[in-house]
Structure 1
Amino acid sequence: MSFFARFWLAYMVFFKVLLDGFYAKRISNLHPPKALPDAVVEADTQAELENKLGKDERRIHELEAELRALKSEAGAAADARADGALWLLGLLQKEGRFVDFLQQDIASFDDAEVGGAARVIHDGCKQSLEKHLGVEPIRTEEEGAKLTLEEGYDARAVKLTGNVSGKAPYTGTLRHKGWRAARVELPALLAEHDPKVLAQAEVEL
């Protein structure tokens, strides 16, 4: 078929399809729409996957940053707890010479000498605890007294010993009243202070 014949046919079919719905339907049935080329579908799928992968990578980076921040906070909190414990031990040394007493070899001292030193250390350490921690007993009963622990008692503050079985209520004898810190008032740590130094070495000139 020549070019002009094909042009004329296309011209006629165009207006026939445009003006005759029944004819247009027949033409449509003769030429069903073809599926998109595989290359186009594959390109769209690849673009979607790359977009999703990019979002996942960004989320992973965000989670990694959050994890690093949490680790940093946990490390700082652990360091603060350790510094606080060392600072308190330093206070006991400063006000009661506690570390001096524990590190001293007392085997060569008689009981009277040890007792005299212990009294001084006791007074200094007690004052330090009362000043900075406000230590108070957990149980107010006298040691040796009979008592009953009802269901729901604070297991963090009371430890059961001996023949432990069953569930509360428990009836037993108070062997130790326990202690708790009513408050914590430690001096602020100075930036130049090393908490690991419990007592400075002293050099007299």
Structure 2
Amino acid sequence: MTDPSASLSFFARFWLAWLCFWRCLVSREFAQAVLPTSRAYDAGQLKELPSGDTQAPPPVKTPAVQAPVAPAPLPPEREHASALSLLAMLQREGRFLDFVQENVAAFPDADVGAAARIVHEGCRKVVHQYLTLQPVLPQGEGDKVTVPPGFDAQRIRLTGNVAGEPPYGGTLRHHGWVTTEVKFPTVSPAMEPRVLAPAEVELA
């Protein structure tokens, strides 16, 4: 496509420049109409039209970028609702909180043992109902075991004389526990997770 200015002679362009000069001085509307074309020319964005006229390109609209809104932090009782729910279940089934809050030093061993049996039965029921557990190491306590290089320090804790580099040889004092399945119920937003056990009032 040819340059539209090539069809205008020097004198024609001179006359057009003179005419535009005076019209820009005396007419605000004419100056406002010419200004976008002048700016487009300075930016090298003039586009040729079939008629030979030029016009400024339409402005490019840049979509507004909205900054992501961080969610409001949950209060501690909501963030740890599952842990509080577990405590509530241990209390409901095994009176766990009643037992640990009691000063058992004042009671004879026989009474403490009888209470511990009840707590153990209820807490064991909760653990088996909502968690699946298995030992970290399959060996029995007291067996000789070898701790290999690159062992998981979260799964195996070394005690005693720890020196040098693995593999280590030692005696298993506790096989550890690992959870393989968690089946906690979902805590309803309508529930108050801080209430671990409601007060009980017997009416006459």
TM-score band, normalised by shorter chain: 0.5 to 0.7
Which residue is equivalent to 2:195?
A: 197
SS at match of 1:121: helix
Which residue is equivalent to 1:105?
A: 103
Where do 1:161-200 residues align within 5 Å? 161-200=159-198
C-alpha distance in structure 2 between counterparts of 1:76 and 1:167, whole Å: 44
**Contact 2:146 2:169 (8 Å CA) reproduced:** yes
SS at match of 2:169: strand
SS at match of 1:148: strand
Which residue is equivalent to 1:83?
A: 81
1:137-192 CA distances to partner (integer Å, 9 max, x unpaired)?
21111111111011222222111112222222111111111111221111221232
1:83-119 CA distances to partner (integer Å, 9 max, x unpaired)?
1111101111111110010111223321111101101
Which residue is equivalent to 2:22?
A: none
Structure 1: where are the runs of 5+ without partners? 1-10, 15-43, 45-54
- 1:133 positional shift: 1.1
Which residue is equivalent to 1:126?
A: 124
Kindly tell me: are residues 80 and 180 of structure 1, through their superposed partners in 2, closer, same or farther at Cα, counting changes over 3 Å? farther
Structure 2: where are the runs of 5+ without partners? 1-10, 15-42, 44-61
SS at match of 2:104: coil
- 1:77 positional shift: 9.8
Quick one: percent identity of the two aligned structures?
42
Number of equivalent positions: 150
CA RMSD of aligned residues (A): 3.1
Question: Is the strand fraction higher in 1 or 2?
Answer: 2
Tell me which of 135, 140, 143 is aligned to 2:141. 143
158-167 or 96-105, which deviates more: 158-167
C-alpha distance in structure 2 between counterparts of 1:110 and 1:182, whole Å: 39
Alignment TM-score, normalising by the size of structure 1: 0.63
Alignment TM-score, normalising by the size of structure 2: 0.63
Which residue is equivalent to 2:58?
A: none
SS at match of 2:106: coil
SS at match of 2:128: helix
